[in-house]
Amino acid sequence: MRVVIAGQGYVGLPLAVRAAEVGHDVVGYDVDTVRIGLLAAGESYVEDITAERLRAVLDSGRYRASTDPADCAEYDIAVITVPTPLRDGAPDLSYVEASTELLASHLRPGATVILESTTYPGTTDEVVRPLLEKSGLTAGVDFHLGFSPERIDPGNPTWNVVNTPKIVSGINEESLARVKAFYETVVDTTVSVPSTRAAELAKLIENTFRHVNIALVNEIAMISHDLGIDVWQAIDAATSKPFGFMRFTPGPGVGGHCLPIDPSYLSWRVQRALGQSFRFVDLANDINNHMPDYVVRRLIEALNRRRRSVAGSRILLLGLAYKKNTGDARESPAVRVVQLLRQMGAEVRVADPHVVEAVHGASDLTMVKADAEELRAADAVVLLADHDAFDYDLIAAESRCVLDTRRRLTAGPTVEVI
Ligand SMILES: NC(=O)c1ccc[n+]([C@@H]2O[C@H](COP(=O)([O-])OP(=O)(O)OC[C@H]3O[C@@H](n4cnc5c(N)ncnc54)[C@H](O)[C@@H]3O)[C@@H](O)[C@H]2O)c1
């Protein structure tokens, strides 16, 4: 089938490569000329897609990266994987709308359009459908429409696009059948959901669940510290329960395109449709947004014990990405930690082997390697993302003072764990 995937980011690129690998004729369309330039040159900026895999699908002629809207013509299947950010706390669907309008201009009878971007319940039916119908074709009659949320967990070595069960939905039975048939060619398992709204809500339940539980364990970590209890020992003990408990661990806050944003899509919808607040989300936002301030407070305390001030100290942050083994620095709590420390007069340096400057625009930061010289020269080192690529023996041996927000190191005279 001729497949167009609008948006070649963390979600769209892995799907496009996989679709090409199974034999579809794929156009990866994106408006970002830097990204498309890298892809066309066989350079991947998404960790889960190696340059070898990308080059193989480029060489096979089955995958093409393009910024030319004309290349989206004559699709059988179009998948929308564009950003769904917040603007002033409200959903910003402008990217979804822009890509839908482009796909509407190329819509043909019999084609299927699938929304994958995470969004509030009702978007497929109330936003995407009318824009596509401006083509003069009727959804569910002349063309098919569905929603299939992406569950990809960047950097996860076990669960990927292929083996993670894929929720599929459609605006009617025929649409669901078309959406399901397409994904059955690219993933191992599909899970049919009878309505697009239930599928949209399912994705938001998953992410709100994570967001709330991370906030819970972060609050417990702060309380435990003040009570003089090692929260990690308590979490390890609780994890021994084989049922009714799911392990979450504290950290410097949440980041990426999902957890800081998706739950607010749901609370916005609840407020808009029902006139009531979604209190769990408000509380979780409050706690998780506070975590960078808490990290800085703990750093101030650690420096204080060494009779040093933040002002004038050289601080080395390990990890700019929001998450282990990924280069995604969007909404990363590390960015907030940098800001706070700079405001206090610290000299901040950042080491992150995964962050690609051209993609993440980290150009105003002093990016360094976490080598012995850097570690020794820092008054304090803060571990924010516990990438496997860091040399933890070296960090423990060479640093004068480490604040570890991920418990990757063992607490001791020079190492403090949050
Ligand atoms: N990153 C994740 O782990 C993850 C997981 C599940 C779901 N999602 C959801 O998937 C969606 C995409 O997320 P992402 O992480 O891939 O974002 P991303 O920013 O990595 O990629 C989106 C791409 O879309 C492009 N784009 C913007 N406007 C466009 C347009 N009009 N036409 C074509 N391309 C356009 C951008 O240039 C960008 O390259 C979001 O709704 C997100 O919430 C993300």
In this prediction, residue 328 carries a pLDDT of: 87
**Same domain? 48 vs 175:** yes
| Mean pLDDT (whole number) for 198-215 | 97
Top pLDDT among 329 and 294 is at: 294
Give the domain-ending residue among 270, 286, 302.
286
Q: If you average pLDDT over residues 75-88, what whole number do you get?
A: 96
Q: 351: domain range?
A: 290-417
Residue 359 is predicted with a pLDDT of: 55
Higher-pLDDT residue of 395, 155: 395
Instruction: Quote the pLDDT of residue 361.
Output: 57
Q: Is 208 in the same domain as 305?
A: no
End-of-domain residue from the set 241, 256, 286: 286
**At CA 357, angle to CA 352 and CA 358, rounded to 5?**
155
- Maximum pairwise Cα distance, the chain: 73
Which residue's CA lies nearest to atom 31 of ligand 1? Answer: 99
Q: 143 and 225 in one domain?
A: no
Report the CATH number at residue 281.
Answer: 1.10.1040.10
Least trusted range by pLDDT, from 42-46, 65-69, 245-249: 42-46
Say yes or no: 282 and 247 in one domain: yes
Is residue 236 within 8 Å of 248, Cβ to Cβ? no
Token pair 């709204």: residue: 197
The pLDDT of residue 358 is: 52
Q: Residue 141 is which amino acid?
A: V
- Tokens read off for 146: 């569905």
Q: Reply yes or no on whether 258 is catalytic.
A: yes
- CATH number for the domain that contains residue 38: 3.40.50.720
Answer yes or no: do 51 and 115 share one domain: yes
Q: How many domains does the chain have?
A: 3
Tens digits of per-residue pLDDT, 222-262?
999 999 999 999 999 999 999 999 999 999 999 988 898 99
The candidate with the shortest Cα–Cα distance to 164, out of 136, 201, 133, 189, is: 189
277 and 410 fall within a common domain: no
How much distance in Å is there from the Cα of 150 to the middle of ligand 1? 10
Is 80 exceeded by the pLDDT of residue 276? yes
Specify whether 305 is located in the same domain as 398: yes
Whether 217 is in the pocket of ligand 1, judged by its Cβ within 6 Å, is no
- Options 82, 96, 171, 258, the catalytic residue: 258
CB distance 143 to 175 below 8 Å: no
> Are 223 and 353 members of one domain?
no
CA gap 137, 143 in Å, rounded: 7
Judged against a pLDDT cut of 90, whether residue 165 lies above it is answered with yes
Q: Which of 148, 164, 193 is where one domain is finished? A: 193
In short, whether 117's Cβ falls inside 6 Å of ligand 1 is yes
pLDDT for residue 363: 67
Residue range 317-363, pLDDT digits in tens? 999 999 999 888 988 999 999 999 999 999 999 999 998 765 565 56
Mean residue pLDDT across the chain = 95
Residues 359 and 303 placed together within one structural domain of the fold = yes
Same domain, 47 and 153: yes
Residues 278 and 310 in one domain: no
Lowest mean pLDDT among 154-168, 193-207, 210-224, 346-360: 346-360
| 112 plus 70 within the same structural domain | yes
What's the whole-model pTM score?
0.91
